[in-house]
Amino acid sequence: MAPRILLARHGQTEWSLSGKHTGRTDIPLLDEGRRGAKLLGERLHRAPWNGLPDVEVRTSPLIRAKETCELAGFGDRAADWDALMEIDYGAYEGLTPAEIKADRPDWLIWRDGVPEGETLAQVTQRVDGVIEEVRTGGRDVLVFAHGHILRSLCARWLGEDISFGARIRLDPTSLSVLGWAYGAPAIERWNDTGHLG
């Protein structure tokens, strides 16, 4: 079977709760985020996942992703992967969409990008590298990362332009699986938060 990629978005932080763009700012989890990470871990250690013994585990080096990974019980198996860091939001770091739209009413990150930060082309190149490594690695990979980079990863896994990320919501501490159907890249599971109850 061709390798799949399992996506775990980090738990809730103060900025994700308020809707602020959190790129490279290293913000820890809230208590709610820690609770969600533990529940995600409990789920992944039960059937049918059974702790994913044969899966490679990678995490963004940012604390919110690493802490989610550790609390989920995969920290001892995880390796940092810089390519999983959240998008560099440049001048929009720490701002909410409403604050940005006060100056740019028609702004959409997936179309317009951000000033002084990472371009959409740069993000595309970065996630394409992740996909290439997963697909040639020979085994499934579980990644702990961030909302926009994981949505970008999904869009490119499917062969879509990165702008497709605008149409796929992704909640904190969610579980998603990108795999295959009829020999083509497919979404097997998306934004699953059933473990949060």
Q: pLDDT value at position 124?
A: 98
Measure the N-to-C terminal CA separation of the chain; round to a whole number of Å.
32
Contact, 31 vs 12, CB < 8 A?
no
Q: Which of 86, 93, 118, 146 is catalytic?
A: 86
In Å, what is the CA distance from 140 to each residue of 7, 79, 178? 11, 14, 10
pLDDT, mean of residues 90-94: 95
Q: Catalytic residue at 86?
A: yes
Q: Among candidates 132, 125, 142, 136, which has minimal Cα distance to 41?
A: 142
Looking up tokens 């702790």, which residue turns up? 51
Higher pLDDT, 2 or 68: 68
Q: Among candidates 154, 181, 184, which has minimal Cα distance to 167?
A: 154
pLDDT, mean of residues 149-167: 97
Q: pLDDT value at position 109?
A: 95
Q: Catalytic residue at 10?
A: yes
Q: pLDDT value at position 197?
A: 85
Helices (H) and strands (E) in the chain, counts: 7, 6
pLDDT, mean of residues 16-35: 94
Contact, 188 vs 4, CB < 8 A?
yes
Q: Is the pLDDT of residue 128 over 80?
A: yes
Contact, 79 vs 55, CB < 8 A?
no
DSSP 23: S
Q: Which of 10, 21, 146, 148 is catalytic?
A: 10
Q: pLDDT value at position 160?
A: 98
Q: For residue 149, give both structure tokens.
A: 């980079």
pLDDT, mean of residues 122-143: 97
Q: pLDDT value at position 2?
A: 87
Is the preceding omega at residue 48 within 30 degrees of 0, hence cis? yes
The full set of domain ranges for the chain reads: 5-196
Question: What percent of the chain has pLDDT above 70?
Answer: 99
Backbone angles phi, psi at 2, to 5 degrees: -65, 145
Contact, 133 vs 79, CB < 8 A?
no
Q: Among candidates 67, 65, 148, which has minimal Cα distance to 108?
A: 148
pLDDT, mean of residues 176-185: 96
Q: pLDDT value at position 1?
A: 67
d(C-alpha 9, C-alpha 37), whole Å: 9
Q: For residue 17, give both structure tokens.
A: 């709760």
CATH topology for 5-196?
Rossmann fold (3.40.50)
pLDDT, mean of residues 37-57: 97
Q: pLDDT value at position 188?
A: 97
